Amino acid sequence: MSTLEQTLTSMEKSNALLENTLRNQNVSSLALFQKEGTYQPASFKTSETLLNALEDDVKKTFPSIAQKQANQLLECIPSQDQVTGKKIAVLFSGGPASGGHNVVAGIKAVLGAANTLYGVKAGPKGLIEGDLFELNDDMVAEVLNLGGFDLLGSDRTKIKTPEQFEAVKNTVKTFNLDGIIVVGGDDSNTNAAFLAENLAETGCSVIGVPKTIDGDLQIGALLPISFGFDTATKIYSEMVGNILQDTPSSRKYWHFVKLMGRSASHVALEVALQTRPQLCFISEEVAAKKMSLNEIISECVDVIVSRSKQGKDYGVVLIPEGLIEFIPELKGLMSQLNDSIAQQDDSFNSLDFDEKKAKISPTLSSSLSQLFNSLPNAIQQQLLLERDSHGNVQVSQIPTELLLIEMIQNKLKEVAPEVKFSSNRHFFGYEGRCGAPSLFDSSYTFNLGLIAGSLAARAKSGYIAALSDLSDGGKAYAIPIPNLVVQEKRHGTTEMVIKKALVEMDSKAFKYFQSRRKDWAGSDKFTSPGPRQFWGPVANQVPFTVALNQGYSSLNFDFK
């Protein structure tokens, strides 16, 4: 083996050189958690901000926790007294998001050596099965500032049956747990509230931490963004920026880029603001304007034809993952499919496509059946795939970009056969979920961990940890989850859920995009922001959408 080969082989034992450096980077944290060079669980006081009273049904669903919480938002304040002897468990739930490891690091730091922190292996399933292990300082230091959820693993099990709740009670008993911290998205945090209610009699508290790259777990100014969104959108922006940079060089392709974000279009909007592509659809706008698939195609064709007249047979179109669900006619179809599939027995998922189609077709109205049959085969197949454990279509598997390309090709043949149209399609999703967290996500998540750890240590239950005023020092809160819960129809039944935060048509970020997009469509005003940066002039940036919507005067975060 040559010397270089030996060096390369020895490097396999540790992380990349960048990761080694990042692991040793300091993370900025709020002073209120710090005491004499170490961390201490905060105390909580009732905030002056008022929350809406609970609906009767919500109150009835969460009687124990709602009574204790009394509709009050809590604010973190420094505390003089230590907490000792507590046993807390942490788990990841749902899709990975950068910064999860720093949440664990924040919890570990604030609990200190006087308390025990357990990691739950492989998400909620691990909690049911009692698969816990004690996390020591070295394990946590090893993953500080690094991406992924691999310290613990994750899954999408929804804890909902009496047997599952009973199994979790057993885990609580076996490990003598005082608290469980669930790091998850809207569904997982709703689940955390149900768990909190079910465990009330055991004295074990349950706390949620807002995670999801989709950015749809936002609670106004109190919680401007979920963690992972910043890193994911910076990664996608680099990739989209690189493609944009390619287009006027090669001068021959239209690139259709589908961007992850199950439902809301926050990711697409953020990437558009960071890169300025020729076209970007915002699902919420499509729904608000009740746009049909044909209207979307016409909009693309108009831009393609007009650029072609300028000799520009190239460009980039951003498509939010969830677009298909927001086009009214397709939404109706998917909702009917969700309901019909929910009524099938377990054997349905093992049937082949034709058998599934034969079972489902008779349940559709004639207009929906016509629409379903008019879709390309690849789309039909994906629409009949197994739902996730929350009953949702797995939209990340639906090739919407292919649907648009095929329909644009057909329309161009009809209205402008002279236009040269060569397309490429991409889906950027999994590439952005596990990268090393941006500086913002590193610090943000460490602080969320400090808040969540403090809540669990102080026996508060049914709250979600939140941080506001991101560019102005940062303020730490605990929001009662029942106050975020609404009733919504999901896979055939009405359920209590945390409402997904969608892109608002009157938000500053959307309005800014709306005011600029026409210019971007005709010109080549794109920018290629490059990789997310850990040092240098733009390293401290928060998402553009967050800074615009919150009315910050700068793009930079600042935690004191």
User: Which range, of 206-214, 312-320, 441-449, 548-556, touches ligand FBP by CB under 6 A?
Assistant: 206-214
If the CB atoms of residues 75 and 270 are measured against ligand FBP, the closer one turns out to be 270
Q: Which residue is nearest to ligand FBP (CB)?
A: 94
Give me the torsion for CA of 460, 462, 467, 469, rounded to 10°.
Answer: -100
Backbone angles phi, psi at 435, to 5 degrees: -65, 160
User: Which range, of 61-69, 254-262, 415-423, 526-534, touches ligand FBP by CB under 6 A?
Assistant: 254-262
Q: How near is the Cβ of 235 to ligand FBP at its closest, in Å?
A: 13
Neighbours of 9 (CB within 10 A): 10
Q: Is 94 in the site for ligand FBP (CB under 6 A)?
A: yes
User: Which range, of 89-97, 100-108, 123-131, 367-375, touches ligand FBP by CB under 6 A?
Assistant: 89-97
User: Which range, of 32-40, 67-75, 93-101, 163-171, touches ligand FBP by CB under 6 A?
Assistant: 93-101
If the CB atoms of residues 178 and 214 are measured against ligand FBP, the closer one turns out to be 214
Under a CB-based contact definition with an 8 Å cutoff, are residues 132 and 119 in contact?
Answer: yes
Angle 48-50-51 (CA atoms, 0-180°, nearest 5)? 145
Sketch the per residue contact string, 181 through 200, with ligand FBP: x for CB under 6 A, - otherwise: ----x---------------
If the CB atoms of residues 29 and 265 are measured against ligand FBP, the closer one turns out to be 265
Q: Is 100 in the site for ligand FBP (CB under 6 A)?
A: no
Under a CB-based contact definition with an 8 Å cutoff, are residues 488 and 190 in contact?
Answer: no
Q: Is 97 in the site for ligand FBP (CB under 6 A)?
A: yes
DSSP 48: E
If the CB atoms of residues 97 and 467 are measured against ligand FBP, the closer one turns out to be 97
Residue among 145, 169, 148, 230 nearest 546 (CA):
230
Sketch the per residue contact string, 67 through 86, with ligand FBP: x for CB under 6 A, - otherwise: --------------------
User: Which range, of 14-22, 90-98, 107-115, 452-460, touches ligand FBP by CB under 6 A?
Assistant: 90-98
User: Which range, of 245-253, 260-268, 346-354, 360-368, touches ligand FBP by CB under 6 A?
Assistant: 260-268
Q: d(Cα 372, Cα 392) in Å, to the nearest integer?
A: 18
Q: Which residue's structure tokens are 């161009």?
A: 412
If the CB atoms of residues 244 and 395 are measured against ligand FBP, the closer one turns out to be 395
Give me the torsion for CA of 295, 300, 302, 303, rounded to 10°.
Answer: 150
Enumerate residues 6+ apart whose C-beta is below 8 A from 72: 46, 47, 51, 480
If the CB atoms of residues 69 and 263 are measured against ligand FBP, the closer one turns out to be 263
Q: d(Cα 117, Cα 134) in Å, to the nearest integer?
A: 6
Residue among 397, 398, 394, 420 nearest 409 (CA):
420
Q: Is 210 in the site for ligand FBP (CB under 6 A)?
A: no
* Given the residues 178, 186, 187, 214, the one annotated as active site: 214
If the CB atoms of residues 98 and 164 are measured against ligand FBP, the closer one turns out to be 98
Query: Is 519 exposed, middle or buried, given 0-12, 13-18 or 19+ CB atoms closer than 10 A?
Result: exposed
Q: How near is the Cβ of 215 to ligand FBP at its closest, in Å?
A: 10
DSSP 387: P
Q: d(Cα 491, Cα 477) in Å, to the nearest integer?
A: 33
Interaction with ligand FBP in 145-174: which residues (CB under 6 A)? none
**How far is C-alpha 523 from the geometric centre of its chain's CA atoms?**
32
Which is it for strands 423-428 and 254-259: parallel, antiparallel or unpaired? Answer: parallel
Residue among 356, 352, 354 nearest 340 (CA):
356
In which region does residue 35 sit, left (phi positive, over 0), alpha (psi from -120 to 50) or beta (all else)?
beta
Q: Is 261 in the site for ligand FBP (CB under 6 A)?
A: yes
Q: Is 438 in the site for ligand FBP (CB under 6 A)?
A: no
Enumerate residues 6+ apart whose C-beta is below 8 A from 314: 247, 248, 250, 251, 252, 253, 254, 307
Q: Of residues 41, 75, 95, 153, which one binds ligand FBP by CB under 6 A?
A: 95
Residue among 181, 185, 229 nearest 205 (CA):
181
Q: How near is the Cβ of 22 to ligand FBP at its closest, in Å?
A: 22
DSSP 429: S
Q: How near is the Cβ of 32 to ligand FBP at its closest, in Å?
A: 28
Q: Is 502 in the site for ligand FBP (CB under 6 A)?
A: no
Q: Of residues 79, 171, 189, 212, which one binds ligand FBP by CB under 6 A?
A: 212
Does 214 qualify as catalytic in the annotation?
yes
> Count residues contacting ligand FBP (CB under 6 A)?
15
Q: Residue 475: in which H helix or E strand, if any?
A: strand 475-480
Q: Of residues 111, 260, 405, 408, which one binds ligand FBP by CB under 6 A?
A: 260
Interaction with ligand FBP in 455-494: which residues (CB under 6 A)? none
Q: d(Cα 402, Cα 421) in Å, to the nearest integer?
A: 14
Identify each DSSP E strand in 78-126 by its residue range.
87-93, 116-120
If the CB atoms of residues 211 and 307 are measured against ligand FBP, the closer one turns out to be 211
Q: d(Cα 423, Cα 333) in Å, to the nearest integer?
A: 28
Q: Positive or negative, the Cα torsion across 228, 233, 238, 240?
A: positive
Q: Determine the longest span between alpha carbons in the chain, in angstroms.
A: 76
If the CB atoms of residues 270 and 321 are measured against ligand FBP, the closer one turns out to be 321
Q: How near is the Cβ of 189 to ligand FBP at its closest, in Å?
A: 10
If the CB atoms of residues 240 and 260 are measured against ligand FBP, the closer one turns out to be 260
Q: Of residues 143, 213, 243, 303, which one binds ligand FBP by CB under 6 A?
A: 213
User: Which range, of 257-265, 290-298, 378-386, 527-535, touches ligand FBP by CB under 6 A?
Assistant: 257-265
If the CB atoms of residues 149 and 557 are measured against ligand FBP, the closer one turns out to be 149
Q: Which residues are catalytic?
A: 214
Q: Residues interacting with ligand FBP, by CB under 6 A?
A: 94-95, 97, 185, 211-214, 260-262, 321, 395-396, 433
